[in-house]
Structure 1
Amino acid sequence: MGFIKEFKEFAMRGNVMDMAVGVIIGGAFGKIVTSLVDHIIMPLVGLATGGVNFNDMFVNLSDEKVNSLAEATEKGVAVFAYGAFVQSIIDFLIIAFCIFLMIKAMNKLSKKKEPEPETAPEPSAEEKLLTEIRDLIKNK
């Protein structure tokens, strides 16, 4: 019974739950960014590079002739699909940039105002008198 209770306490800790929520949101965010890359950014990059589709870029590693990556995959032909790798790098860079922007915005929102330095309380009349006496003794 102690093991189950200990596991329940572990699972219900705030940071474990926060991590679970983060993983779920991260997965959904990854799908959004992948869609952004696949359907918006890469077509623009392809347009800028003369209609090149990075997903179809590959080097055939066999003697069998294939015209597309889909055909090579269907036939089981060994290929070096560097276009998909380039697209994955672009995905990563965009996700990293989006996370950077989100963290930067969250830090800006959560930035606490620097506390103003506390001013020393005004010395009492007795403290002033003792300070004057001390200074007179030092100067003799």
Structure 2
Amino acid sequence: MSVDNQASGDRIAADENAVRLASEHWARAHREHDEASAARLMAEEFRASQWQSVDGALYLTLHFGGSIRIDDYVTSVESVAVRADAAVVTGRRHLVGARAGREVDTEQLVTETWVRAGAGWRLLALHASERVEEPRRA
């Protein structure tokens, strides 16, 4: 392997680790009800689609303003793909709490899109969907 390829591989690995850490901080902000930390991790153009499509301000209002109660928020990252100043994280999330007055205990598939911002990474887009078991074949 050439020195240039080694350096490139090292940069990609460092970026993947930084994005993985940012994703962990995002989950921790939700578990700890830390709106300020979540807001710092969001890109200005942040969009989320879960139960509805929302911008950053509405996301913070819903998740930290009382409409959605989060008791536990655990994400397991399955893959991180980095290309230049963008990264995509895929994984699973276990979410426990309440939404619209109903208790929630759900497994979700999650896709996070992160962009490099200065020396760190910011969450640009978040999509979560309920995990559905595949039907068993006879």
TM-score by length of 1: 0.30
Larger radius of gyration: 1
Q: Which has the higher contact order (CA 8 A, sep 6+)?
A: 2
Q: Which has the higher helix share?
A: 1
TM-score by length of 2: 0.30
